[in-house]
Amino acid sequence: MTEFTQRALNIIAGIPAGHVMTYGQIAALAGSPRAARQIVRILHSMSKKHKLPWHRVINAQGKIGLQDLDSFTLQKMALESEGIVVSAAGEIKLERYQFHPM
């Protein structure tokens, strides 16, 4: 596992309930600001194995990025169960819910 991947896993695992982070934000904090798509791959391939809170990661526009209706609904419900307000279109107010680790 690369150092970038390990840092990304640690960042994702540290997102507290009731908060979200963006793919690009995680990539930048992990040391590669242009690697947002790599974060998508990490989440896709490692979420179950590492028990990551994948549902707390959204796109830079503050929206759920999943296109599949079942996956979209699952992420929306998971976020709402943590008290995050999600619009019908999958929009989350970043100014209210975005997590900024120290």
| Average pLDDT of the segment spanning 79-89 | 97
Instruction: Return the CATH architecture of domain 3-97.
Output: Orthogonal Bundle (1.10)
**C-alpha span between 86 and 56 (Å, rounded):** 12
**C-alpha span between 92 and 76 (Å, rounded):** 10
Report yes or no: 64 and 75 within 8 Å, Cβ to Cβ: yes
pTM of the predicted model, to two decimals?
A: 0.94
pLDDT at 102 over 90: no
Q: Express each pLDDT in 1-51 by its tens digit.
A: 899 999 999 999 999 999 999 999 999 999 999 999 999 999 999 999 999
pLDDT at residue 1 in the model: 85
Neighbours of 86 (CB within 10 A): 21
| Average pLDDT of the segment spanning 85-94 | 97
Give domain limits for the chain: 3-97
